[in-house]
Amino acid sequence: MPFTVEERDTSRTITSGTNPAVELRFVVRGTGADLQNDEGALGALEDEAPDEFLNLPRRDVRLEPAGPGLWDGEASYAPVSNEFEPPQTGESVFAFDTGGGTQHITHSLATVATYAAPGQTAPGFQGAIGVTADSVEGVDIVVPVYQFSETHVFPDAAVTDSYKNTLMIMTGRVNSDTFRGFAAGSVLFLGASGSKRGDGDWEITFRFAVSVNLSAINVGPITNISKKGWEYLWVRYEDAEDGTAQAIVKRPVAAYVERVYLELPFSVLGL
């Protein structure tokens, strides 16, 4: 037998706890023509070191020359890690973020309280925010925006120039039909980024943002307004007289819901 493999007396370093591990140490000896045969010594060590030790799988084997026909060998054992492995062709990876977005509003849900100087009455603006003599300035608030991404792996033949152009055209578009369980008008396609892997497949990440459709919105005396998630609501104000406060105030007289994103079927994304 050209090689002998013996476990050392100082072998079996064992670690327990949240990161269990074992290290076995060996001495490998070769004879005759195998005094410098590193490959043969490594093979002998791999054959001798068990595939599993104390219920831990073998992770790697290490060999280091220690002299003519002599090697120090080690075999390490540890749990299989949960390291991310790239998805295979046809597989997908999903991620999401509920960090929210910002929206500029000019009207509150309700005026909680008003305060006036002694001897005066606070003018009533019916919920308008930041009213000046010439305008309604409003305020930026955080609103629910659900962002998510999907990473899909496509075969090279599917990612044509035409498909890449489709992704470009679809960026900044809103779903015209139900997508991933969300109603039409609520999902905005933020774009896609892709890279070609060594095996020729394409890994493409698609990004989306969701703003829910709303109904029964009230702006002062204007009631039952409905808007899709990515439509824009704005309010027209006019000067009016507040007889109680004896002041000219801004009052909402009309509300407008505008479509600012083109709606298209997301089926063309091929997801």
Give the per-residue pLDDT at 83: 47
Question: In terms of domains, do 102 and 47 share one?
Answer: no
Give the per-residue pLDDT at 131: 79
Question: In terms of domains, do 243 and 210 share one?
Answer: yes
Q: Which domain holds residue 220?
A: 92-269
pLDDT above 60: residue 222: yes
Higher pLDDT, 121 or 60: 60
Residue 85 lies in a domain: no
Give the per-residue pLDDT at 84: 45
Question: In terms of domains, do 65 and 119 share one?
Answer: no
Higher pLDDT, 148 or 107: 148
Question: In terms of domains, do 194 and 247 share one?
Answer: yes
Give the per-residue pLDDT at 81: 57
Question: In terms of domains, do 27 and 100 share one?
Answer: no
Question: In terms of domains, do 96 and 65 share one?
Answer: no
Question: In which band, very low, low, confident or very high, does the pLDDT at 33 lie, cut at 50, 70 and 90?
Answer: confident
pLDDT above 60: residue 167: yes
Residue 83 lies in a domain: no
Averaged pLDDT for residues 149-161: 91
Question: In terms of domains, do 167 and 254 share one?
Answer: yes
HEC string of the chain?
A: CCEEEEECCCCCEEECCCCCEEEEEEEEEECHHHCCCHHHHHHHHHHHCCCEECCEEEEEEEEEEEECCEEEEEEEECCCCCCCCCCCCCCEEEEEECCCEEEEECECCCCCCCCCCCCCCCCCCCCECCECCCCECCEEEEECCEEEEEEEEECHHHCCHHHHHHHHHHCCCEECCCECCECCCCEEEEEEEEEECCCCCEEEEEEEEECCCEEEEEECCEEEEEECCCCEEEEEEEEEEECCCCEEEEEEEEEEEECCCCEECHHHHCC
Higher pLDDT, 212 or 105: 212
Give the per-residue pLDDT at 196: 87
Averaged pLDDT for residues 186-211: 90
Percent of the chain exceeding pLDDT 90 equals 45
Question: In terms of domains, do 177 and 255 share one?
Answer: yes
Residue 229 lies in a domain: yes
Question: In terms of domains, do 158 and 130 share one?
Answer: yes
Q: pLDDT digit string (tens) for 44-90?
A: 999 999 999 999 999 999 999 988 889 999 999 998 754 445 556 66
Give the per-residue pLDDT at 197: 79
Question: In terms of domains, do 242 and 134 share one?
Answer: yes
Cα–Cα dist 75/53, whole Å: 10
